[in-house]
């Protein structure tokens, strides 16, 4: 895989979990990384410190993705500090409350749509000019395998993710003339704090370690697995890959955790 030296990556929600794994991998490939976080400045600082200690370049930026003014200020700061973003990974998000469609307030649907779709779309609009000028740009959306499964009690989350997936697929067609690729990575259950909470809720207090053996390859997905998929999509090896959805779940889950 060719290196990413000279590229500027912005990874939303990268102070922990999947975003952290992606940020570390892109930095290891040579990209300068903007580590975005909503809360948890200390966690973001730790990611930056780990990247710098390994010889990379990174800086942390606070912004809630559903706050357009904060996103605008973040993009301006990244442009000034690191340069124009030519690799955007839209990862930040939040889970729904686990209610049925009948029980879910309309405000919850709107809230998750703002976080998972409308906010990221505004961010994409802000960075597109720099990507077009760079000659090669990449937008990678982190979605979820649950979007295609449509499990019970998940509609606000899966609907918002599905909306953003359609936007990314459309963007891939619209921006080909500008050298921009747009792709989707859809993980299954990932070994993160959120993943552990999902397992506890679905199993009545169980742990990921208790179910790992029933999953493909004897383990659940890790943030490093997602980082590898993103790094491939943004590499020269994936120069002819756009508008695609890559599911990273080991080939299919053995049990359902929503």
Q: How far apart are the first and last CA of the chain?
A: 34
The answer to the question of residue 130 being in a domain is: yes
Mean pLDDT (whole number) for 135-147:
95
94: which 2 tokens? 């939040």
The answer to whether 139 and 184 have CB atoms below 8 angstroms apart is no
Query: How many domains does the chain fold into?
Result: 1
Mean pLDDT (whole number) for 70-93:
97
Identify which of 12, 15, 9, 25 has the alpha carbon closest to the alpha carbon of residue 47.
15
The per-residue DSSP string of 200-213 comes to HHHHTS--HHHHGG
CATH number at residue 37: 3.40.50.720
Mean pLDDT (whole number) for 198-219:
84
Residue 43 pLDDT exceeds 90: yes
How far, in whole angstroms, is CA 67 from its chain's centroid?
Answer: 17
| Number of neighbours of residue 162 by Cβ within 10 angstroms | 17
Q: CA–CA distance from 233 to each of 62, 65, 104, 226 (Å)?
A: 26, 23, 36, 11
Q: How many residues does the chain have?
A: 258
- Residue-wise pLDDT tens digits, 103-139: 999 999 999 999 999 999 999 999 999 999 998 999 9
The answer to the question of residue 204 being in a domain is: no
pLDDT of residue 253: 61
The answer to the question of residue 149 being in a domain is: yes
- Residue-wise pLDDT tens digits, 148-188: 888 888 899 999 999 999 999 999 999 999 999 999 999 98
User: For 43, phi and psi rounded to 5 degrees?
Assistant: -65, -40
Of 92-96, 166-170, 207-211, highest mean pLDDT: 166-170
Catalytic residue list: 157
The answer to the question of residue 18 being in a domain is: yes
The answer to whether 226 and 190 have CB atoms below 8 angstroms apart is yes
The answer to the question of residue 199 being in a domain is: no
How far, in whole angstroms, is CA 167 from its chain's centroid?
Answer: 15
Give residue 115's domain range.
Answer: 8-190+222-248
pLDDT of residue 192: 84
The answer to the question of residue 78 being in a domain is: yes
């Amino acid at each position: 895989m060719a290196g990413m030296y000279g590229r500027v990556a912005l990874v939303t929600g990268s102070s922990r979990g999947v975003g952290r794994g992606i940020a570390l991998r892109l930095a290891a490939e040579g990209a300068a990384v903007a580590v975005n976080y909503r809360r948890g400045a200390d966690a973001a600082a730790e990611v930056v410190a780990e990247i710098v200690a390994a010889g990379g370049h990174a800086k942390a930026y606070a912004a809630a993705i559903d706050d357009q003014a904060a996103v605008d200020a973040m993009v301006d700061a990244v442009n000034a500090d690191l340069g124009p973003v030519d690799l955007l990974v839209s990862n930040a998000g939040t889970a729904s409350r686990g209610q049925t469609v009948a029980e879910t307030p309309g405000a919850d649907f709107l809230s998750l749509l703002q976080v998972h779709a409308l906010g990221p779309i505004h961010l994409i609009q802000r960075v597109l000019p720099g990507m077009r000028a760079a000659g090669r740009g990449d937008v990678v959306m982190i979605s979820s395998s649950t979007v295609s499964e449509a499990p019970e009690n998940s509609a606000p989350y899966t609907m918002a993710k599905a909306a953003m997936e359609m936007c990314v697929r459309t963007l891939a067609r619209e921006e080909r003339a500008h050298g921009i690729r747009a792709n989707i990575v859809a993980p299954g259950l990932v070994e993160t704090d959120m993943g552990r909470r999902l397992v506890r809720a679905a199993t009545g207090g169980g742990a990921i370690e208790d179910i790992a053996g029933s999953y493909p390859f004897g383990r659940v997905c890790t943030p490093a697995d997602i980082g590898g998929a993103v790094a491939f999509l943004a590499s020269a090896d994936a120069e002819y890959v756009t508008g695609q959805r890559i599911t990273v779940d080991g080939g299919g889950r053995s049990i359902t955790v929503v």
